[in-house]
Amino acid sequence: MNEYMIIGQYVPGNSFVHRIDPRTKITIIFFFVIFVFFANSVGSYGILTAFALITTFITRIPLKFILKGLTPVWFLIIFTFSLHLIVTKDGTVLFNLFGWEIYSGGVIQGVAISLRFFLLILFTSLLTLTTTPIEITDAIEDMLAPLNKIKFPVHELALMMSISLRFIPTLMQETEKISKAQSSRGVDFRTGPLKERIKAVVPLLVPLFVSAFKRAEELAMAMEARGYRGGEGRTKLRLLKIQSIDIWVYLLFTCVIIGLFLLRTY
Amino acid sequence: MKTKTLVANALVAALYIAVSAVIQPFGFTNVQFRVSEIFNHLVVFNKKFFFGIIFGVFLTNLMFSPMKAYDIIFGVAHSAISLGIIILLAKYIKNYLVLMTANTLVFTFNMFIIAFELKLALGMPFLFTWLTTAAGELVVLAVGIPIMLALNKQVRLDRLI
């Protein structure tokens, strides 16, 4: 159960990356995800890889946390690499593997796509490794604020996200507890015919829904009793502020992107 | 938005994540057997569940998916488009069973969005990926129909918020 209790993958710290404003991190990651597709040469991949690895290094997050986050994707990376190795038939034949001719184009494409994927996963995971989900919520609320003008309920949605984050561990515990309680009464979730297993989910979902909506009702009532009236005029406990390090990060990232385009032919 | 609707949707999102994590911790990438996908049927009973489901998808992908940025953008787009279609259909169709069948088919068909994501990110073959992801989605949502009907009998999902 304990491993479920770690929400997301946030690793507390006070590194340079931890201190960057979450809005800056989201913006940089957004553009990184787009620009990584422009890499097409050793030089351009090189500069992005160096940037991603150096950023990872300065987070001072133990390597085991980062590798743990990447565990589910190794299989995918190897699968994709093998797929391109077998399917792509460009360039010269390099060697013969169990009857399959391996072309140089296949190796190049396999390496390029796997590396691109690795970079995407590594860089985007830095957001959740160095930013708490609440900070991410605040950042999203702030970035979507202009949508308020077209009556989009930005504040309500951000509050919804915060409440959701607060209740995830509670409901996880509850799910675990109910499934154990039902198992002790003889409900079998894992074996038996499909029809029986489908039936077994119902006694799990019914108490879960009942208790979740009971909580919702109590919380809504408590909020209203304390005077919650929606977003207008509400002040915040945590205020986001763009600092000089954010400006430096934007400048550095712009340089990396300029470098990427200059190195596209090398 | 009424306070109760807001809070109830937040809890639906939290339930989506809790069930994704506890019942079956794998359901990302090309074979998608995410049990909490059956929550997509909630919108059939009440369109107000829309945001709860969308947030469930968003937060699950943000916190647990290794492919983060892609899964967030394409996963949320997939759910939002599919749920939008069902909300439109619900104006004309009132039978839950028919609507849930339509929901299953719409979600399954729209898996091409996820297949496109995997093609873009990993260069996977589009049609093959569409087929495998759609098969997973079809199974989960089809299995979800009797479960949600049984659940609705007990808790009256249409009257909860």
How far CA A15 is from CA of A51, A55, A60, A264, B63, in Å, comes to 16, 10, 7, 32, 21
Mean pLDDT across A234-262: 91
CB A33 within 8 A of CB B69: yes
- Nearest-Cα distance to chain B for A213, in Å, is 6
pLDDT the model gives residue B30: 45
How far CA A116 is from CA of A59, B64, B93, in Å, comes to 21, 20, 45
Confidence of residue A8 (pLDDT cuts 50, 70, 90): low
Chain B CB contacts of A154 under 8 Å are none
Mean pLDDT across A72-80: 83
CB contacts under 8 A, A 143-182 vs B, are 153, 156-157, 159-168, 170-172, 174-176, 179
pLDDT tens, position by position, A24-36: 999 999 999 899 9
CATH number for the domain including B57?
1.10.1760
Helix (H, G, I), strand (E, B) or coil at B2: coil
> Quick one: tokens of A62?
């133990």
- Nearest-Cα distance to chain B for A189, in Å, is 9
Mutate to test the interface with B, among A2, A127, A163 (most CBs of B within 10 A): A163
Helix (H, G, I), strand (E, B) or coil at A240: coil
What sign does the dihedral A23-A26-A28-A31 (CA atoms) show?
A: negative
Please, which residues have CB within 8 angstroms of residue A47's CB and are 6 or more apart in sequence?
Answer: A256, A259, A260, A263
**Count of residues making up chain B:** 161
CB contacts under 8 A, B 75-134 vs A, are 121-125
Q: Determine, for residues A175 and B6 on separate chains, whether the beta-carbon distance falls below 8 Å.
A: no
pLDDT the model gives residue B98: 95
How far CA A12 is from CA of A19, A59, A131, A253, A256, in Å, comes to 11, 10, 8, 24, 27
What's the total number of domains in chain B?
1
More confident residue, B120 or A3: B120
pLDDT the model gives residue B68: 74
Check if B140 contacts A (Cβ < 8 Å).
Answer: no
Residue labelled with tokens 């190795």? A85
- Quick count: other Cβ atoms within 10 Å of Cβ B42? 29
- Nearest-Cα distance to chain B for A173, in Å, is 8
> Quick one: tokens of B34?
């995410």
Average pLDDT, chain A: 87
- Nearest-Cα distance to chain B for A104, in Å, is 17
- Residue in chain A nearest B56 by alpha carbon: A164
Nearest partner of A171 among A179, B3, B42, judged by Cα: A179
**Count of residues making up chain A:** 266
Please, which residues have CB within 8 angstroms of residue A234's CB and are 6 or more apart in sequence?
Answer: A155
pLDDT < 50 positions in chain B: 25-32
- Nearest-Cα distance to chain A for B125, in Å, is 9
How far CA B58 is from CA of A137, A222, B25, B53, in Å, comes to 12, 27, 16, 9
Please state, in angstroms and rounded to a whole number, the distance separating the CA atoms of residues A56 and A62.
10
pLDDT the model gives residue B46: 92
pLDDT the model gives residue B33: 61
- Residue in chain A nearest B21 by alpha carbon: A4
Chain A CB contacts of B55 under 8 Å are 157, 160-161, 164
pTM, entire model: 0.83
- Quick count: other Cβ atoms within 10 Å of Cβ B23? 17
Q: Is the pLDDT of residue A229 over 90?
A: no
A104-130 and A63-87 helices, crossing angle to 10°:
150
Which three-class secondary structure string do you get for A128-181?
HHHCCHHHHHHHHHHHHHHHHHHCCCHHHHHHHHHHHHHHHHHHHHHHHHHHHH
> Domain span at residue B15?
3-159
> Quick one: tokens of A144?
């979507």
Chain A CB contacts of B22 under 8 Å are 4, 172, 175-176, 179
Q: Determine, for residues B28 and A72 on separate chains, whether the beta-carbon distance falls below 8 Å.
A: yes
CB A37 within 8 A of CB A152: no
Q: Determine, for residues B10 and A160 on separate chains, whether the beta-carbon distance falls below 8 Å.
A: yes
- Residue in chain A nearest B51 by alpha carbon: A157
Nearest partner of B89 among B79, B77, B78, B100, judged by Cα: B100
Q: Determine, for residues A175 and B13 on separate chains, whether the beta-carbon distance falls below 8 Å.
A: no
CB contacts under 8 A, A 76-135 vs B, are 76, 80, 83-84, 87, 109, 113, 117, 120-121, 124-125, 127-128, 133
- Quick count: other Cβ atoms within 10 Å of Cβ A146? 10
Rg of chain B over all Cα atoms, to the nearest angstrom:
15
> Quick one: tokens of A118?
């690795």
